Amino acid sequence: MEKIEKEKLIKLCSVLNNFNCLQLLYGKVYKSSELAFFLENSNYVVLGRGIINSKSLNILEGQDKLKYIEENFIQIQSEKEFQAFKENLLLTKKETDQQNQISVEQWKIKLKNVIEENTSESISDEDKKKIFETILNCPIKKEEIEPYYWEVFDIVGTAEKTRNIFNAKDGIKLNKNDFPQKNRYNKEEEN
């Protein structure tokens, strides 16, 4: 948080007679340079004697901002508090990474199920794997999808099932007018 913001908060505390918050803002945090290193890729900022999550702090105004500071301020004034916060931050990051990994794995399972539902039994496992890899690696911009779409279409055989498979990927929403077959054949004739 910038010095200007801290000064504004100090003035706000003084005007509203919030001395508890004022005490938190005055002073310095323990091991500020080491702490800054750990906070680089987080939403936390150093503020006075400790740190606070700045995401919500920047949205709030006046008394709500001071109340948020009092309730969510993490004071770091000793080695013990510093180590406890560091461990908590690393644990939170690890949990977030695990949740992201789980959601990616869940999406892959969902995609495999959608491919199974939208392909006939005559399609080989090798072709299903090719469809899976194509969807996994295709871009999400509609303008860039077309070659991938036709690759999957050639295996699946119907536009509706091809759309269903592509729509299983987050960020892609195809409708029946996006890649009409007649346009494909017109482009092929031109080439």
Q: Taking residues 97-117, report their average pLDDT.
A: 87
Instruction: Count CB-CB contacts under 10 A for residue 97.
Output: 10
pLDDT for the residue numbered 3: 46
Q: Taking residues 32-56, report their average pLDDT.
A: 79
> Does 113 or 184 have the greater pLDDT score?
113
CA torsion sign for 144, 147, 151, 157 is positive
pLDDT for the residue numbered 4: 46
* Percent above pLDDT 90 for the chain: 18
pTM: 0.52
Instruction: Count CB-CB contacts under 10 A for residue 146.
Output: 15
Could you tell me the two tokens for 98?
Answer: 């695990």
Could you tell me the two tokens for 184?
Answer: 């494909």
Residue type at 148 in one-letter notation: Y
- Considering only 30-34, 107-111, 122-126, which range has the smallest mean pLDDT? 30-34
Could you tell me the two tokens for 168?
Answer: 């299983």
